[in-house]
């Protein structure tokens, strides 16, 4: 929003929120109440500014998605063939930018899912996500199941069995503690941001 809307209110909101973040457990009730009021006021102003600048914000989001998709092509994670549906969704999202309905947001979610599905068909992506995921055993609820899936996954890599590795990847994601982000959320967040 700061990159799109040049507004003095944004600077004031930032200052108030930074002050609210400085509160400690030793702060008194009056300071806490002031912080809550500042947060409430910030939400109202941000909501108003987001509504006024909705088209520009959406345009910026879509430009970021297009850039990320081109990056996937340049790194050879995706081919032009993989992206036919994605490009059609991007075109539809571009047409929905100025409409006040929720179609733009739905299309952005659709793009995110299409990209993830295409990436999950790429050996390099699946192997990389598996390797990232197995780095932290403490992120999983069941350590025995984690170790079994880790060992099976490593064997899949050795045997070049990417279909089975993809299944193991999904099983590992299912074992993540609730406070742990899914490796797929990284891709989704890239697309959403």
pLDDT attached to residue 46: 81
The answer, as to whether pTM is greater than 0.95, is: no
CA distances from 88 to 30, 83, 92, 93 (A): 53, 8, 6, 9
Model pLDDT for residues 18-27, shown as the tens digit of each residue: 877 777 667 7
pLDDT attached to residue 25: 67
Q: Is the pLDDT of residue 192 over 60?
A: no
Model pLDDT for residues 43-101, shown as the tens digit of each residue: 888 888 878 888 888 998 899 888 888 887 777 777 777 778 888 999 999 999 999 88
Single out the residue of 147, 164, 153 nearest to residue 131, CA to CA.
153
pLDDT attached to residue 97: 93
pLDDT attached to residue 191: 41
Residue 189 vs residue 137, higher pLDDT:
137
């Amino acid at each position: 929003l700061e990159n799109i809307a040049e507004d003095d209110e944004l600077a004031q909101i930032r200052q108030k929120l930074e002050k609210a973040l400085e509160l400690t457990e030793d702060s008194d009730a009056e300071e806490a109440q002031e912080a809550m009021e500042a947060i409430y006021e910030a939400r109202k102003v941000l909501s108003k500014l987001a509504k006024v600048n909705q088209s520009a914000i959406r345009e910026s989001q879509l430009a970021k998605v297009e850039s990320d998709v081109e990056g996937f092509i340049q790194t050879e994670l995706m081919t032009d063939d993989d992206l036919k549906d994605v490009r059609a969704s991007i075109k539809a999202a571009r047409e929905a930018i100025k409409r006040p309905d929720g179609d733009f947001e739905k299309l952005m979610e659709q793009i995110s899912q299409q990209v993830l599905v295409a990436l999950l068909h790429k050996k390099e992506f699946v192997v990389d996500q598996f390797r990232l995921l197995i780095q932290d055993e403490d992120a999983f609820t069941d350590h025995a199941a984690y170790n079994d899936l880790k060992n099976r996954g490593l064997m899949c890599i050795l045997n070049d069995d990417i279909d089975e590795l993809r299944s193991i990847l999904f099983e590992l994601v299912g074992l993540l503690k609730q406070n742990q982000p899914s490796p797929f959320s990284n891709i989704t967040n890239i697309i959403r941001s």
